[in-house]
Structure 1
Amino acid sequence: MISLILFGLLALLLLLSVPIAISLGIASTIALIVSGKVSGSYVPQGLVTSIDSFPLMAVPFFILAGDLMGQGGLSQRLINVGRMFFGRYTGGMAIIAVVTCIFFAAISGSGPATVAAVGAILLPAMARDGYKPSFSSGLVACSGSLGVIIPPSIPMVIYATSANVSVSKMFMGGVVPGLLIGFALIAYAWLQSKKDGQKPGDYRPTGREMLAVLNDAKWALMVPVIILGGIYGGIFTPTEAAAVGVIYGLVVGTFVYRELKLKDLYKIFAGSALTSATIMLIVGTATIFGRALAIEGVPMMLADFITSAVDQAWLLLLAINVILLIVGTFIETIAAIIILTPILLPLVTALGVSAEHFGIVMIVNLAIGMITPPVGVNLFVASRVSGLSLETVVKGAITPMLVMIAVLLVITYVPALSLALPAFFGM
């Protein structure tokens, strides 16, 4: 009964075009009130405690860092490097979008931050070059999800804590799967651009021009070196790395590239605060929604159903993939990890699946959840930065999402993709 209220009311509110955060909050609140299992203060307390997290603090910092880098010229120089290497090919701008998202993922640790930073510059440029708005916005939304797969990744930190595994091993395990998804999206971008009749670019830089572009971009190219080097070297945590990124972007944009003006700071800080507030409200209400599901025992019922239906590792992984893809459409990534890891991890480890491999599979599944409505955070960010309707962005994200699901199956059934690199470095 309560589950019907929860999902039925959410579906109704979404059909009425009520904002996703408000829909999740209303559905969860009414369902919890009807159930009578919690006190009236549960929802407001949950909204506060769900975002009262040190790792989660990295999200607004990375969003601000991305905005500062975008306004300060760092993101533009990364794009210039991508254009130098890929601008001559069919679909060059689309390929550059994916490549820049891969690079920025190693800076941000956040899917929404990656979409915001890259999309703000590239989506207008792709529109000027004649790319379909739905294609370009959907591609950036999907590519932005690499922000939680390629290290540093906030959800990986949450999973490592929940599963009691090494954060560094999880980070290292995400490199190959993240790059594999990136290459698959590049192939899709090239094929779709060719199908749409995009002409090859005419940009043919000389050797001197290439050196000039690389020299101009050296401060931007140093960002992932500083952030990842600091994290792997034990100098600072991912959250602290986000704060370092803010300072670095501010200093380089203001005093090195001199494209960031003091008069622009208020607008940048206000815009970052608004984006962060939107995302945090979704995180809070989605967490309440997930807790309502847990109170009603929905995850436990799913676990019981799975164990009674399958007894082989490959079937169990397939079933879990399906469940996680469905869960990712309704529950925010961090909430899903916290709720489902204690339930699903014992099931897979009992059949010989390593906790680290399962963690990568879970992260990739939930990264896809960032581009599936109704809780597709990347879709909302892409819609916001592009000025397009959510329906337009969703339409463009369908095909690249299917590409990501195909790669997910490869990652699921080839554990070496997640485990070989950590093993090589003795982790």
Structure 2
Amino acid sequence: MFVNVNVFFRYVLSNSLSWPGGTSVILNIWVTYVGGAVAYYVGDHVSVQYIHQKLPANHARAVTVFINGLVGLLGFAMLWWGSQLAISQASSRTVYEVLGITSISLFWTRIPLAIGGCYLVFEAGRQILKTLIDDLEDDSYAAAISLALFIVLAMTLYLARIPFPGQGVLEIAAIFGLLIVLIVINTPIAFAMALSMLIFLLFFPNSLDILMPLLVIQQMGQALSGFSILAIPLFIYAGRIMTIAGITSRIIEFANLLVGRMRAGLSHVNVVASMLFAGISGSAVADTAAVGSILIPAMEDEGYDTGYTCAVTCSSSVIGPIIPPSIIMIIYAITVPSVSVAGLFMAGVVPGLLFGLGIIATTYVVGYRTDWEKFPEVEHRDRPTAREAGGIVKDTVFALIMPLIIIGGILSGAFTATEAGGVAVLYAIVVGLFVYREMTLAEFIDASYSAVTMSGVTLFIIGAAKPITQVMAIKGVPEQIAAILLSTTSQGILLVLLIVALLSILALFIESIANILLWAPVFAPLVVEVGIDPLHFAIVMIMTLAMGMITPPLGVTLFVAAPIANTNIETIAKNIVFFFLIEFLVLVTVILVPEIALWLPRTLGYG
């Protein structure tokens, strides 16, 4: 709301305001840590559930208790040190103007950490108690033993004050090793990021003497102080509003008009709808949830194979972060300021289209390999009349205009990426209320609540990554990694392929946003040193990490699609192989032929 107020004053009244930006930044910090904590209650946090789901019931409960013990530890740290920071900085002032007030106390930027921590402690305790009761009812003591072991282990390691045998890269390697272990056992990724650094400092207090646990919590708060980060919750909110406003269903109807009568028509509708939806939401998870919730049941009703249905939905949703606007592109541009958001947006257009065309082609390959058994007979679908087709196009116009407003506004310089997110939210609300008239007050409230928790998850990852990235920079880890990679090869393309291989492995366990925050500052300067265009590498990295969203064990889109279709991850994974291979082929082509990504931004003056 405040972002749109500023846009209105700047263009209509020719009087730009200073306070909406500062107000929005403060609210964003509250959304991050209070909303991120509430997201733990509603189950919105991303985690690697694959291994956890394979455990026997009593063992799974034992691990659940252990994980909640860790979450409670993080919550206590946020409560304890967040309160100290809030009290100690109560007399200090922000540099922001908030609601017309020149500045406010830093207390209001730190207390959300303590409030979020308090909620995490409460929720972790509640889940531990519930799990203990469930375990006892099943005549098992695994959960109780796990809780006892957690307490004993935590106290022993903390009191022992063990010195860590190594410095620099070894310390960072230990932190990343701990991070991977936490993620593998099903700890929410946002919490695992913060816990890996916090646990290391608590158990090895004489290591990383440049950083104390208090500073970890402080940096988590400071990481969300930029105005550009506001684009993330705004685009997430826009995606949620789109679904309840009827925009998503109109996009699917339009895609059905274009390709629905082709053989395996709904498969192609799925892909085309994802490509159109990508031009608005910028999120693979939002794409899977919005398009999948409509098309997965529809495809199953027509007789499509369940595993194939989910596979094509997840694979096409990967286009979301590649075709502009894209949330992870915005994060990349924030992390690597030498690359512009507009340039990244334009660089993603052709690779995104190639991904979509490749998936459509793959449906035919899968069809012929299985003698079309995965597809029902849909060739005889009635052709819409000219009047019906015109009605669909007319009804979809308002939905299709939305990406033109967003991208056109950014490219023209009319507004920033953050302001574009605000405009997208406002546009979706107006269309839902006054054009399609499908949005109710109850749905709007539910969508707003969901947007807050989803934003909290994403933003929490950004805050939790800040301490790790700072330690890596201070310890000279980027320089050491660069030296190691350059000693392997100094050939630009070979180096990019090596980095892609490393990122592909990391993407199996670490969420794409976290990977960008951790590794983009490390690899981006390195590839420039060997002559690779920074915009070319940026789109390659984004494509690589986007593909990680469909690869187990993390594969976040798989975990979204599976419950919609009432199936399991293995079934989807088996069917997704061919789609992954075609996307990998497109990725390699973009690496070897940089102009595929670069010609459009260069033509438009953004390269």
Displacement after TM superposition at 1:6 (Å): 3.6
Displacement after TM superposition at 1:176 (Å): 0.9
Displacement after TM superposition at 1:105 (Å): 1.3
Letter in 2 for 1:129: E
Is the 2:508–2:554 Cα contact (8 Å) retained in structure 1?
yes
Question: What is the TM-score when the length of structure 2 is the normalising length?
Answer: 0.63
Is the 1:88–1:200 Cα contact (8 Å) retained in structure 2?
no
Letter in 2 for 1:173: A
Is the 1:154–1:238 Cα contact (8 Å) retained in structure 2?
no
Structure 2 residue 318 is the aligned partner of structure 1 residue 153: no
Change (3 A) 1:349 1:272: closer
- Cα RMSD (Å) of the superposition? 3.0
Deviations 1:334-360 (A, max 9, x none): 444444344333433333322222222
Give runs of aligned pairs for residues 3-402 of structure 1, distance below 5 A: 5-35=174-204, 36-37=207-208, 38-161=211-334, 162-193=336-367, 195=370, 196-201=373-378, 202-285=381-464, 299-373=478-552, 376-383=555-562, 394-402=573-581
Deviations 1:1-41 (A, max 9, x none): 54564455445445544444444443343234345312012
Return the alpha-carbon distance in structure 2 between the equivalents of residues 53 and 210 of structure 1: 46
Is the 2:244–2:444 Cα contact (8 Å) retained in structure 1?
no
Change (3 A) 1:52 1:301: same
Deviations 1:356-411 (A, max 9, x none): 22222122122223334565444444457666555555555444233222211100
Letter in 1 for 2:195: I
Is the 1:290–1:331 Cα contact (8 Å) retained in structure 2?
no
Is the 1:71–1:253 Cα contact (8 Å) retained in structure 2?
yes
Return the alpha-carbon distance in structure 2 between the equivalents of residues 213 and 81 of structure 1: 6
Displacement after TM superposition at 1:66 (Å): 1.9
Is the 2:237–2:425 Cα contact (8 Å) retained in structure 1?
yes
Is the 1:24–1:286 Cα contact (8 Å) retained in structure 2?
yes
- Residue 152 of structure 1 aligns to a residue in which SS? coil
Letter in 2 for 1:176: V
Return the alpha-carbon distance in structure 1 between the equivalents of residues 213 and 524 of structure 2: 33
Q: Which moved more, 1:281-290 or 1:184-193?
A: 281-290
- 2:145 alignment partner in structure 1: none
Return the alpha-carbon distance in structure 2 between the equivalents of residues 177 and 411 of structure 1: 7
* Structure with greater Cα Rg: 2
Change (3 A) 1:114 1:294: farther
Question: Number of paired residues?
Answer: 427
Letter in 2 for 1:275: M
Question: What is the TM-score when the length of structure 1 is the normalising length?
Answer: 0.88
Change (3 A) 1:13 1:359: closer
Which protein, 1 or 2, shows the higher relative CO under an 8 Å CA cutoff with sep ≥ 6? 1
Return the alpha-carbon distance in structure 1 between the equivalents of residues 256 and 554 of structure 2: 33
Change (3 A) 1:316 1:11: closer
Return the alpha-carbon distance in structure 2 between the equivalents of residues 279 and 385 of structure 1: 22
Displacement after TM superposition at 1:167 (Å): 3.2
Displacement after TM superposition at 1:419 (Å): 1.7
Is the 2:461–2:514 Cα contact (8 Å) retained in structure 1?
no
Displacement after TM superposition at 1:70 (Å): 1.4
Q: Which moved more, 1:254-263 or 1:381-390?
A: 381-390
- 1:417 alignment partner in structure 2: 596
Deviations 1:306-328 (A, max 9, x none): 10011222321211221222333
Q: Which moved more, 1:150-159 or 1:315-324?
A: 150-159
Return the alpha-carbon distance in structure 2 between the equivalents of residues 216 and 232 of structure 1: 27
Q: Percent identity?
A: 39
Letter in 2 for 1:407: V
Is the 1:10–1:27 Cα contact (8 Å) retained in structure 2?
yes
Return the alpha-carbon distance in structure 1 between the equivalents of residues 466 and 574 of structure 2: 27
- Residue 325 of structure 2 aligns to a residue in which SS? coil
Return the alpha-carbon distance in structure 2 between the equivalents of residues 384 and 150 of structure 1: 26
Letter in 1 for 2:312: L
Return the alpha-carbon distance in structure 1 between the equivalents of residues 446 and 183 of structure 2: 31
Change (3 A) 1:32 1:409: farther
Change (3 A) 1:176 1:275: same
Return the alpha-carbon distance in structure 2 between the equivalents of residues 296 and 375 of structure 1: 29
Return the alpha-carbon distance in structure 2 between the equivalents of residues 271 and 59 of structure 1: 14
Change (3 A) 1:309 1:95: same
Displacement after TM superposition at 1:277 (Å): 2.9
Is the 2:329–2:341 Cα contact (8 Å) retained in structure 1?
yes
Return the alpha-carbon distance in structure 1 between the equivalents of residues 522 and 414 of structure 2: 34
Letter in 2 for 1:26: L
Return the alpha-carbon distance in structure 2 between the equivalents of residues 424 and 356 of structure 1: 14
Deviations 1:259-316 (A, max 9, x none): 1122322222223333333333444445556666666665444322210011222321
Q: Which moved more, 1:307-316 or 1:137-146?
A: 137-146
Return the alpha-carbon distance in structure 2 between the equivalents of residues 204 and 46 of structure 1: 59
Return the alpha-carbon distance in structure 1 between the equivalents of residues 322 and 227 of structure 2: 19
Letter in 2 for 1:263: A
Letter in 1 for 2:266: M
Displacement after TM superposition at 1:76 (Å): 0.5
